[in-house]
Chains A and B, each alone.
Chain A
Amino acid sequence: MCLAVPGRVLEIEERDATRMAKVDFGGVVKDVCLEYVPDMRVGDYAIVHVGFALQRLDEESAKQTLELFENLGVLEEEFGDAWGKAARDAGAERPSGTGLPPTDGVEKEARP
């Protein structure tokens, strides 16, 4: 959760009087709050941390960073199957109530 990940704004809406967006992180789409960078527009790239856009970023930098983070395993860490990872790390069974057995990738688990 430490790193902020670049993503592209797909659509923007007001929700509970808060500016929210759907943001695409290399195939994983998440809800993101735009209140800290209120002038973001559809198609812009932003640095996003735990569901909040923190700063605008140019497209080329965003794409390079996304590629690096994918190679470093950051995207899996950020959007992947946390219970599955914890279970593997612990050498234990996934606790009940945490979803289906481990999946094979980020995308399947994290897409809404």
Chain B
Amino acid sequence: MKYLDEFSDPVLAKRLFDDIRAITTRPWALMEVCGGQTHSIIRHGIDQLLPEEIELIHGPGCPVCVTPLEIIDKALEIASRPDVIFCSFGDMLRVPGSGRDLFKVKSEGADVRVVYSPLDALKIAQENPDRQVVFFGIGFETTAPPNAMTVYQAKKLGISNFSLLVSHVRVPPAIDAIMRSPDCRVQGFLAAGHVCTVMGMAEYPELAEEHGVPIVVTGFEPLDILEGIRRAVRQLEAGEHTVENAYPRAVQAEGSPAAKAMLADVFEVTDRAWRGIGMIPASGWRLSPKYRAYDAEHRFSVTGIDTQESTVCRSGEVLQGFIKPNECAAFGKECTPRNPLGATMVSSEGACAAYYLYRRLETPDKEASSVG
């Protein structure tokens, strides 16, 4: 079997592929929610080794990809201010706003700094009391607790020159929105393992019941993904739709009580726009009133942003699983990692970047063939 020797345990991988083949009697479409899972799937050719009947649809689980253009533009405006040190994770540097990105703003002289952790940004604030330090707080339920803790610490330590530009998103409302779409083809979900490490599994039974879909909490390693697929297909073939945990070494049913308590203190649920998808009710977090003083949007009054999305980019359809990346006319042509039109190409966790990196090109062009 092609690529099989790349699995950490090829014998177990073959057994899982054989099991999946044995139980599959008809076509099924599964969505892997997490961008990390997408990369593992494409890197190891899992989608190509599965029975033809099983289609993997790539989900919206890349935080960089779904951060709305308006927030990127606000980040760029705040970062351009001379009194500001703007701190971000490295993977946001080249996400395109309306015409520029953080890399370009830095090149023009802004004080943009890459940090590993939000606590690093807080430390910069302590060391620079005469500057405003803003941290770009994006991400899913995995990233929100660290950012919540950082705001909590800022308040506790009385650090008043720190603020958070918040654009946190929540997975369960996105699953609900995907299932409600009239064009939805998804019949089962591989839920994002590390999101569940924090949140546990309590939010999923209602979704599985309401939409009649199996939801299997799944890790990132190839064998984890195969096990997730095996369990989802077994349920579908049996006409079941329950929630299963196929990543028990990292996920407990109740999640992380300490992280959930901090989230409940620092954030409150809000409607949130997802880049390429649009508004999803109750799909995000913002700072709760108690911590509103640390909200960079309020502190810097960034309003009146005129956003301008690419008219060519189809990343919204990729994020919802309506098309595969290489079905977009711009893919690998005017849209490449060097000149990304949308965040799904610029983010290393984006589905378009995964397809490009691992050469899933229908008609590889000159530039594409030089990659890797």
A: residues with CB less than 8 A from B are: 1-4, 16-18, 30-33, 35-38, 47, 49-52, 54-55, 57-58, 61, 64-65, 67-68, 72-74, 77-79, 82-83, 85-87, 89-93, 95, 97-98
Contacts and interface: CB of A to CB of B under 8 A. Distances in A.
A49 B348 CA distance: 17
A2 B249 contact: no
Nearest to A15: B119
A52 B114 contact: no
B342 interface: no
Given A52-B149, A58-B249, A82-B93, A89 B35 contact: no
B47 interface: no
Contact of A31 (B93, B119, B348): B119
B146 A50 contact: yes
A44 to B, nearest CB: 14
Contacts of B43: 72
Nearest to B348: A77
Contacts of A32: 117
Given A1-B89, A36-B256, A95 B142 contact: no
B8 A67 contact: yes
Among A68, A77, A98, the most chain B Cβ lie within 10 Å of the Cβ of A68
A31 B117 contact: yes
A55 B197 contact: yes
Interface stretch (B103-111, B181-189, B228-236): B103-111
A1 B139 contact: yes
Contacts of B220: 3, 65, 68
Contacts of A82: 89-91, 93, 114
Nearest to A55: B197
Contact of A91 (B40, B119, B259, B338): B338
Contact of B157 (A16, A37, A97): A16
A61 B224 CA distance: 11
A54 B106 contact: no
**B: interface residue count bin:** 35 or more
Interface in B48-106: 61-64, 89-91, 93-94, 103, 106
Identify the 10 closest CB pairs spanning chains A and B, nearest first: A51-B117, A82-B90, A52-B146, A86-B93, A95-B107, A95-B106, A1-B89, A82-B114, A3-B36, A36-B259
A79 to B, nearest CB: 7
B194 A3 contact: yes
A57 B119 contact: no
B250 A51 contact: no
B352 to A, nearest CB: 14
B316 interface: no
Contacts of B145: 36, 52, 54
Contact of A51 (B63, B106, B116, B256): B116
Interface in B17-60: 34-36, 39-40, 43
Given A35-B149, A36-B259, 8 more contacts: A31-B119, A36-B262, A38-B258, A50-B143, A52-B146, A54-B145, A82-B90, A83-B114
Contacts of B119: 31, 33, 51
B90 A85 contact: yes
A33 B8 CA distance: 31
A83 B94 CA distance: 10
Contacts of B251: 55
A69 B61 CA distance: 18
B325 interface: no
A68 B194 contact: no
A55 to B, nearest CB: 5
B107 A4 contact: no
A57 B250 contact: yes
A86 B94 contact: yes
Contact of A30 (B63, B116, B146, B258): B116
Nearest to B119: A51
B131 to A, nearest CB: 14
Contacts of A85: 90
Contacts of A33: 117, 119, 146, 149
A1 B194 contact: no
Contact of A50 (B89, B106, B259): B89
A49 B259 contact: no
A47 B145 CA distance: 14
Contacts of A1: 63-64, 89-91, 139, 143
A111 B267 CA distance: 33
Given A36-B258, A38-B258, A92-B103, A2 B146 contact: no
